Amino acid sequence: MMSPALAQSVEMADVMRSNGKIYVVVAVIAIIFIGLMVYLVCMDKRVKKLEEK
């Protein structure tokens, strides 16, 4: 099953890596994630404000 010796024959996404497009994928996902986290932070602040009233 596991054949490290034949690792080269397993298809990986080397094309996307070689032409740099993988960084676009990373950037997109990172931006979505950061956007969601900013949303969470804003929610947290809003709730905190309501709690302090």
Partner 1 sequence: MQIKWWKILGIILVLYSIIAGLLMPVPHLNILNETIRNLYFHVTMWFSMIFLMLMSMVQSVKYLSGFDKVRDLKAEALASTGMFIALLGLTTGMIWAQFTWGAFWVNDPKLNGVAVTMLIYLAYFILRNSIENEDAKARVSAIYNIIAFVMMIVFIGVLPRMADSLHPGNGGNPAFGTYDMNNSMRMVFYPAVIGWILIGSWIAQLRFRIKVLEINKENK
Binding site for partner 1 (CB under 8 A): 1-4, 7-8, 10-13, 22-23, 25-26, 29-30, 33-34, 37, 40-41, 43-45, 47-48, 50-51
2 alpha carbon, distance to own chain's centre? 28
Q: How far is the CB of 15 from partner 1 (least distance, A)?
A: 11
Indicate the residue among 11 and 19 with the shorter CB distance to partner 1. 11
Question: In what helix (H) or strand (E) does residue 47 lie, and over which residues does it extend?
Answer: helix 22-52
Indicate the residue among 18 and 50 with the shorter CB distance to partner 1. 50
- On the 0-12 / 13-18 / 19+ scale of CB atoms within 10 A, 15 is exposed
